[in-house]
Amino acid sequence: MYAIVDIAGQQLKVEKDKKYFVNRLQGEEGSEIDIDKVLLVDNEGEVMVGTPDVTGTVVKAKILSHLKGDKVMVFKKKRRKGYQKLNGHRQFLTRIQIEDIVTK
């Protein structure tokens, strides 16, 4: 059984007992969250597609930790103009574990 959910602007295919990195979520480490923006659910070949969400379906997840992603270096240059710019960026992430996919 899997579901496609919208978490903080990202669409992810999630399965029970798997861990995922998503954009930073509100909540303490160890707390439970309910994700109700479920776009699609596949239960052993029985597919339910939402318009836009599947009503009555909730994905329960647990926040494992808050962390920062890998550093991404952004380098801009214009040739023959003497212009160079170097910026770094680290995205704030949350690691979650999917506890259960509940359909009604």
Number of structural domains, the chain?
1
- 88 exposed, middle or buried (CB, 10 Å; 0-12, 13-18, 19+)? exposed
Could you tell me if residue 81 is left (phi over 0), alpha (psi between -120 and 50 degrees) or otherwise beta? alpha
The string of pLDDT tens digits covering residues 60-103 is: 999 999 999 999 999 999 999 999 999 999 999 999 999 999 99
3-class secondary structure, 74 = strand
Q: Measured between alpha carbons, how far is 53 from 6 in angstroms, rounded to an integer? A: 10
Residues of the domain holding 67: 2-103
Enter the pTM of the model: 0.84
Contacts of 103 (CB under 8 A, 6+ apart): 41, 43, 48, 54, 56, 57
The string of pLDDT tens digits covering residues 3-51 is: 999 998 999 999 999 999 999 999 999 999 999 999 999 998 899 999 9
Query: What are the tokens at 38?
Result: 């479920």
Residue with tokens 């954009």: 23
